[in-house]
Amino acid sequence: MTVVTRFAPSPTGRLHVGNIRTALHNFLFARKHGGCFILRIDDTDRERSTAEFDQAVRDDLQWMGLDPDQLVRQSERFDLYEREFERLKSAGRVYACYETTEELDLRRKVLLGRGLPPVYERKPADAPVPEGRAPHWRFRLDHEVPIVWHDLIRGEQRFDPKLLSDPVVRREDGSWLYLLPSVIDDVDLGITHVVRGEDHVSNSAAQIQMFEALGASPPEFAHEALLVAAEGKLSKRLGSYGAEHLRAEGVEPMAMLSVLARIGTSQPVEPVASLDALADSFDFATFGRAPAHFDPHEVELVNARLLHQLDYSDVADRLPEDATEGDWLLLRPNLQKLSDFDEWFAVLHGEVDPAVLSHEERLFIRDAAAAAEKLDWDANTWRTLTGELKQSSGRKGRDLFHPLRLALTGRDSGPEMAGLLETMGKDRALRRLEAAAKR
């Protein structure tokens, strides 16, 4: 089994959630079945296909752990495309066309105005060739053979080729559109499965005839439902939401991949710690036909849940050098992103700015400092301290706990205070209480 994922230059130059999802599904399908995962970079557009784009794609995939078994650049395969193009031309399966874009647009409007499908109308073989005009090239569909295949997600697909336009495969300047080179690559590389979005279903129909014209069996296709934003369409904001954005935000790659692997399926969206575990549960039978709704907030929630499951050994190399397993276990339940750990680690072992309190709260914290100084410091210190202060001050609930948390951590909320107080130690806690009482 060999699957391929294709990346063409995007306006942002980076991978966004839509093409990451497709790459992920190709990768998981190959991993589950012991197959080969090929990355094909469509870099035939010389203006947009830069070395920076090439590197960015590979960097993003590496960050996510989607390492290809083979890398193919279409710009290095022009000789192969040319050879196969000439073979199809000799067989009459590609032919020259001379209409301008304006002429084609006008003809489509005429056909639509007559209630007819806007299908390209082939010219007679003896039609005159316009002087001084370079041709574009189309693939000649066989109108006598229905196009039928079983899609791994959509079930049986059936197209009448008479209702499809002969697709353009090469422009007037000799540059390639992706349809034919992709088929030539798939034949040459032995691709057995193609996973892509449902917006390519009609392209797949035309490509099936291209495979057959080249004497090859088409691969199996799986066309997944499109990814849409929560508001109903993939917005411009989400169009740039991807690996680069998530890395900058400190999101774990497996959080995003856990979401993208499951949305649009019957499986629950939940944090999964490894690609192998995602691959084990990957099944096209669980994919639905309805659009898959993507919500960045769901990635954030899954990211927090994923962090709460990770062991110290999973993150030790990304924590401050002197952070201990005890620090991790104490702070882990309160983390939304791994970068939050550094902030709380400083609260535990560094210094905080004295809290700004009301006059009454400062008096209360002064009494708290006096009471804390008399205590032995252990796991029960927080309970003992708050119990004594409740009795002496009459405070309870938020009035009791909030000023103490502010004075000791400088934060309105956070991990359980019992563990924080024990770990920060008596000397540090007393300094903070005294500083808050004097401010």
Binding-site members for ATP are 236
| Residue 301: CB atoms within 10 Å | 16
**Roughly what angle, to the nearest 10 degrees, separates helices 426-438 and 417-424?**
100
253-262 and 51-64 helices, crossing angle to 10°: 80
**Which helix (H) or strand (E) element contains residue 84?**
helix 78-90
Classify 11 as helix, strand or coil.
coil
**Cα–Cα distance measured from residue 95 to residue 141, given in angstroms and rounded to the nearest whole number:** 11
DSSP 66: -
Tokens for 431? 């300094």
**DSSP labels for 315-380?**
HGGGS-TT--HHHHHHHGGG-SSTTHHHHHHHHHHS--PPP---HHHHHHHHHHHHHHHTS--STT
Nearest to 369 by CA among 418, 421, 433: 433
Please enumerate, by residue number, every residue annotated as part of a binding site.
Answer: 236
Q: Are 303 and 339 in contact (CB under 8 A)?
A: no
Which residue type occupies 261?
Answer: A
Cross-strand bridge partners of residue 39: 5, 71
CA distance 437 to 439: 6
Alpha-carbon span 286 to 267, nearest angstrom? 7
- Please give the C-alpha separations between residue 91 and each of 17, 95, 183, 433, in angstroms, as whole numbers: 41, 10, 17, 87
- The DSSP bridge partners found for residue 196 are 223
Q: Kindly report the number of other CB atoms within 10 A of residue 393's CB atom.
A: 16
> Are the C-beta atoms of 233 and 260 separated by less than 8 Å?
no
Q: Are 211 and 183 in contact (CB under 8 A)?
A: yes
**DSSP track, 396-423:** -THHHHHHHHHHHHSSSS-S-HHHHHHH
Residue 425: both structure tokens together: 């130690």
